[in-house]
């Protein structure tokens, strides 16, 4: 399947400003997401200034920014400010705080106040069900299920993501995100179940030109890589003198 035939929208996930600007020029990138971990890795120190730079460069597609408090009232205050940064801004709210207290009441309150939410760090169908219930009748929203982290535990994420899609039928204004993918194949797995969105990091974006590549050619490329790397390393197995 070629990228042009995908139903699933590809969102870029990262916090490197130059990479985000470059990806904004690609028509197949339909939105952007980031989070405090990615921002820290990218060396971001001023949250508000970084966000404003991103939004100056990307004004025509959804962009998600995450709150970073662990207290619900402060989350609410941050969410309300972030929401004012643009009509295309979604506010990421974690499904629980670090004390394992669910954020459903906050999600319901913000969504029904008109804040577009991206509810994040979801890993169970029970969480999906309760998040959808909190969002029902509210503003447009995203529901981010971390399929890659589900796979990290040895579980097949596809059946769970399919079930999540069924749960989202109860709230047509909510879109399911296949979050934290681990490989390019995940894009096509997401598409096969009709998942609305998949977030991809730069390492997966760089693999997109491989889609549809003939496997015989890829085999030859692999052989050439091994050969060139062996030459570059200067490997040698000199013939040992035979013992008389």
pLDDT tens-digit map of 158-206 = 999 999 999 999 999 999 999 999 999 999 999 999 999 999 999 999 9
CB 39 within 8 A of CB 66: no
Core vs surface per residue 50-72: b (16+ CB within 10 A) or e: bbeebbebbeeebbbbbbeeeeb
Output the average pLDDT for the chain: 95
Separation CA 97–CA 1 (nearest Å): 40
Report the candidate in 140, 151, 19, 29 with the shortest Cα–Cα distance to residue 88. Answer: 140
Residue 241 has what pLDDT? 60
Give the strand pairing for 197-200 and 9-13. Answer: parallel
pLDDT digits (tens, 9 = 90+) for 95-105: 999 999 999 99
Residue 243 has pLDDT above 60, yes or no: no
Would strands 117-122 and 29-33 be described as parallel, antiparallel, or unpaired? unpaired
> Looking at residue 242, what is its pLDDT?
62
Residue 67 predicted with pLDDT over 70: yes
Q: Calculate the alpha carbon distances from 68 to 74, 76, 95, 133, 239 in Å.
A: 9, 11, 13, 24, 62
Determine contact, residues 12/205, Cβ cutoff 8 Å.
yes
CA distances from 149 to 156, 180, 238 (A): 10, 7, 47
Three-class SS of residue 119?
strand
pTM here is 0.92
**Cα separation, 89 vs 39, whole angstroms:** 17
Residue 244, pLDDT above cutoff 70: no
9-38, pLDDT tens digit by residue? 999 999 999 999 999 999 999 999 999 999
Distance CA 202, CA 215 (A): 23
Domains observed in the chain: 3-210 (3.20.20.70)
Percent of the chain with pLDDT over 70: 97
pLDDT of residue 34: 97
């Amino acid at each position: 399947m070629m990228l042009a035939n995908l139903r699933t929208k590809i969102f870029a996930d990262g916090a490197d400003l130059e990479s985000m600007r470059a990806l904004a020029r690609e028509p197949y990138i339909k939105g952007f997401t980031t989070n405090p971990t990615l921002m820290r890795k990218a060396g971001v120190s001023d949250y508000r200034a970084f966000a404003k730079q991103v939004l100056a460069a990307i004004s025509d597609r959804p962009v998600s920014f995450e709150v970073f408090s662990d207290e619900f009232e402060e989350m609410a205050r941050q969410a309300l400010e972030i929401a004012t940064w643009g009509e295309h801004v979604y506010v990421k709210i974690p499904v629980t705080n670090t004390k394992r207290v669910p954020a459903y009441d906050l999600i319901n309150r913000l969504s029904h106040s008109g804040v577009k939410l991206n509810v994040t760090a979801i890993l169970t169908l029970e969480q999906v069900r309760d998040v959808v219930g909190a969002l029902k009748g509210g503003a447009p929203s995203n529901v981010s299920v971390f399929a890659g982290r589900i796979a990290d535990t040895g579980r097949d994420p596809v059946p769970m993501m399919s079930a999540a899609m069924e749960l989202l039928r109860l709230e047509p204004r909510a879109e399911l995100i296949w979050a934290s993918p681990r490989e390019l194949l995940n894009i096509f797995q997401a598409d096969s179940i009709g998942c609305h969105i998949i977030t991809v990091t730069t390492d997966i974006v760089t693999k997109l030109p491989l889609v549809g590549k003939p496997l015989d050619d890829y085999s030859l490329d692999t052989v050439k890589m091994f050969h060139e790397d062996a030459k570059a390393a200067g490997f040698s197995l000199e013939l040992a003198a035979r013992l008389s």
